[in-house]
Amino acid sequence: MAKMMRQVKTLGLLGTGVIGGGWAARALHFGIDVLAADVKPEMEAWIRGAVENAEGALSRLTFAPLPPKGKLSFTTDLAAMARQVDFIQENIPEQLELKQRVLAEVSHHAASDVIIASSTSGLMPSDLQRDMAAPERFLVAHPFNPVYLLPLVELVGGNATSPEALDAASRFFTEIGMHPLKVRREIPGHLTDRLQEALWREILHLVNDGVATTGELDDSIVYGPGLRWAAMGTNLIYHLAGGEPGMRHMLKQFGPCLKWPWTKLEAPELTEQLIDRMVEGTQAQANGRSIREIERLRDDYLVAIQQVLRQYNIGAGSTLRALEERLYERNGAAARAGSGAAAGEDCAQPLRLIETHVRPEWVDYNGHMTDSRYLQVFGDATDALYRSVGVDDAYRQSGRALYAVESHMTHNAEAQALEPLYVTTRVVGVDEKRVHLFHCLHRRRDDALVATGEHIYLHVNSTAKKAAPMDPAVRAKLEKIHTAQAALPAPVQVGRHVGMPRS
């Protein structure tokens, strides 16, 4: 590309529907404004409903500090959308001539440094970019439903696509928590759908031949290979099947099976009888549940699986972990910039390091923020402070860390769902091995004190598993903040014990 891709602050959606709604939910959750364009005005209500339905699961995916949510707008003017956005994601029906016509039209209204990507599941990018202005900025970015939870996006360039466009798109999708997979060359169906379709053809044959029902075939995946596929693909799993010699032994032992007539590559004819069997089977599996009910069930287990995989840093869990690391680092960078903590400048007042809000899932049966979330928010403020003075991922990987050894919270006022909040922080004390912090949680609308948190941290050598002096540079920065704040009146709650009268 002649130009560098602009920073994406607003994502334009060309067409809404299920995939468009998924793109909107993901982008908005990670702080990107969305301008959705669809020729059907009734799709505005639909996409807003889709975003709302996705919020419950998305809000549980990660508890890392998030940027303020993006704003959703809607228009029926496709050209106006193209002129206002920084990246366009097309999601219109899978009809080649329709896509070619609409993409060509929109490309003449979008600036040449605006990437245009298609969500197509099988069409070739060279065909789609044929009549476009600046076709070098076009590519396929094929996601998977639900887009707001599944991180995979296949990136495919056409004959005219520039490597710079693919790289820039990859960076953008990574920023919103996705796993971009660059396909080496264009091929109908890309990669994943070709694999899915091979399995799908076998399912149709087995149902058509009366060998199994749709439910039995789904059970054969859910209770077996599906569990493995959540973290390892077929190739690595078969490598394990070969024992110590790995894939070579596996192919030697099981390769002859490929000559056996186990599978049928050609799909059976979709007769009315086969269609009826497929419909009856899936309706029985749904067991009276609505599509929305099944979507929520799917979303819940996808969140749980990714959080489990995050512990092992594998598969989609590694994408989630990398996203969280970026969010925490960005939060720490904002703390450095906003407080002058790194240089010890202008620290004479409590440091305002965290801006957040009460997420809906943080609310208890009384409609207020539940106890454990106060500790989580204070922990985020601590993390922001430590990163601002140099206790970051690299510091921890060097075998040094600050561990909480004592905490005490007081609750002063209520915080309800969606209530905007902020935290101020004071360094009450510091020596070579200990840091004493005092946090105040405030409501943003009236600055009312909601809660306080007092914490003692011990610096440890995590390899030796014992207390150890902290890095002199880190200690110096903390001491500079402590000295600057020493003239402030001591917080009323500091040093209190549980049950102690307020005054």
Terminal C-alpha separation, the chain: 67
- Residue-by-residue DSSP string for 151-218: -EEEEE--TT--HHHHHHHHHHHHHTT-EEEE-SS--TTTTHHHHHHHHHHHHHHHHHTTS--HHHHH
pLDDT confidence of residue 339: 55
- Retrieve residue 55's tokens: 């919020």
Give residue 381's pLDDT: 94
DSSP H/E element including 383: helix 371-388
Determine contact, residues 263/202, Cβ cutoff 8 Å: yes
**Per-domain residue ranges of the chain:** 10-190, 195-288, 343-485
Q: How does DSSP assign 210-252, residue by residue?
A: TS--HHHHHHHHHTTHHHHHTTS-HHHHHHHHT-TTTHHHHHH
Per-residue CA distances from 104 to 8, 78, 107, 133 (Å): 21, 12, 5, 7
| Cβ 434 vs Cβ 459: under 8 Å | yes
Please give the distance of CA 115 from its chain centroid, rounded to a whole number.
21
Handedness of CA 338, 340, 346, 348 (dihedral sign): positive
Closest CA to 13 of 80, 76, 89, 72: 89
* Largest pairwise CA distance in the chain: 84
Instruction: Tell me the pLDDT tens digit for each residue of 239-288.
Output: 888 888 888 877 888 778 777 877 777 888 888 998 899 889 888 988 89
Task: Give pLDDT tens digits for 382-407.
Answer: 999 999 899 988 999 999 999 999 99
Q: What is the pLDDT of residue 2?
A: 44
Residue 3 has pLDDT above 80, yes or no: no
pLDDT at 142 over 70: yes
Give the pLDDT confidence of 351-374 residue by residue, as tens digits.
998 888 888 778 888 888 999 999
**Top-confidence residue, 258 or 55:** 55
Angle (CA) 297 44 103, round 5° = 100
Query: What is the tens place of the pLDDT at every residue in 171-185?
Result: 999 999 999 999 999
Summary mean pLDDT of the chain: 91
Spell out the residues 6+ positions from residue 485 whose beta carbon is closer than 8 angstroms to its own.
347, 348, 349, 350, 426, 427
Separation of alpha carbons 440 and 438, rounded Å: 7
Query: What's the mean pLDDT in 198-212?
Result: 94
The CATH number of 343-485 is which of 3.40.50.2300, 3.10.129.10, 3.90.550.10, 3.40.50.300?
3.10.129.10
Over 90: is that where the pLDDT of 319 sits? Answer: yes
pLDDT grade, residue 144 (50/70/90)?
A: very high
Is a pLDDT exceeding 90 seen at residue 212? yes
Task: Return d(Cα 320, Cα 322) in angstroms, integer.
Answer: 5
Architecture of domain 195-288: Orthogonal Bundle (1.10)
> Long-range contact list for 261-267, CB < 8 A, 24+ apart?
263/202, 264/201, 264/202, 264/205, 265/198, 265/201, 266/201, 267/200, 267/201, 267/204, 267/205
Q: What value does the mean pLDDT take over residues 85-105?
A: 97
Confidence label for 111 from pLDDT (cuts 50, 70 and 90):
very high
Question: CA-CA distance, 419 to 404, in Å (whole number)?
Answer: 27
> CA gyration radius for the chain?
27
Structure tokens at 495: 């040093």
Q: How is residue 137 annotated by DSSP? A: G
Fill in the amino acid letter for 375.
L
Higher-confidence residue: 192 or 360? Answer: 192
Residue 342 pLDDT > 50, yes or no? no
Q: Would you call the peptide bond into 146 cis, given omega within 30 degrees of 0 as the criterion?
A: yes
pLDDT of residue 365: 85
Whether the per-residue pLDDT at 310 is higher than 60: the answer is: yes
**Confidence class for position 503, pLDDT limits 50, 70, 90:** low
pLDDT the model gives residue 346: 60
Find the range with the poorest average confidence among 35-44, 64-73, 213-222, 259-268.
259-268
Instruction: Indicate the CATH number of 10-190 among 3.40.50.300, 3.40.50.720, 1.10.10.10, 3.40.1410.10.
Output: 3.40.50.720
